[in-house]
Structure 1
Amino acid sequence: MKVSNQTSLKIVSLISLICLLIPLIIYGLWIYAFNLGTTQAERVTIFKDYFPDFLNGRWDTTFISIAFCVVAILLSTTNLKKIKNYWRTLNIFIIVISSLLLLLNLFSMM
């Protein structure tokens, strides 16, 4: 029973990592679009072209990024004391990076 419990905790850690990758990809696309455009309006247009039409609102990608950061933090926090070694280090990394991205998103909304 303990082996399957550890396996499920590792799967939750990987899901948390995937949740962290989504905001990282959004910021990576913004950096890429920023380097392509010459004016801010052109950069925003290039950035919005990477997403479907229902995500072209002013704060849509920010809200999605915030939601995935919160999910990543919550999933990693639940595993922090139950899992050891490499997986614990991975969960700490996920919590730190997700927290920084969450704060970056919140402050960018001000």
Structure 2
Amino acid sequence: MKNQTKKKILTLISFICLIIPFIIYSLWIYVCNLGTTQAERVSIFKNYFPDFLDGRWSTTIVSIIFSISAVIISSINLKHLNGIWKLINIVLLILSSLLLFLNLFSMM
């Protein structure tokens, strides 16, 4: 029983890891409607983050790290959970994989 509870908590951690890159992309979509030029958009976008995330690829790398974490945690949990929790992990795995590939291809 304790093992199942730990796996369910890991599923919630995976969900939190997925939310972080999702919020970053949602913020970028929001900022795209604010600025008139690309330079303005980038400047507005970077103002939402602390100074240590001011580099060119900083937010992308953060998104990649959290997406990879969500993929790993969800794939581990797939083997140990059943029912609705397994379905939740499948959805988390698919969404985090898509965000991971989106981040990787945006770096090209």
Query: In structure 1, how many angstroms separate the alpha carbons of the residues matched to 2:24 and 2:75?
Result: 23
Match of 1:103 in 2: 101
Identity of aligned residues (%): 62
Residue type at the aligned position of 1:106: L
Matched positions, count: 108
Q: Normalised by the size of structure 1, how large is the TM-score?
A: 0.96
Q: How do 1:17-96 residues align onto structure 2 when only pairs under 5 Å count?
A: 17-96=15-94
Q: Runs of 5+ in structure 2 lacking a partner?
A: none
Question: How far did residue 4 of structure 1 move?
Answer: 1.1
- Residues 50-96 of structure 1: per-residue CA shift (max 9 Å, x gap): 00011010000000000000000000000102101111111011110
Which segments of structure 1 move beyond 4 Å, counting only runs of 4 or more?
Answer: none
Q: Which whole-Å CA distance do the structure 2 matches of 1:43 and 1:81 have between them?
A: 43
Q: Where does residue 7 of structure 2 map in the other structure?
A: 9
Q: How high is the TM-score relative to the length of structure 2?
A: 0.98
Unaligned 5+ runs, structure 1: none
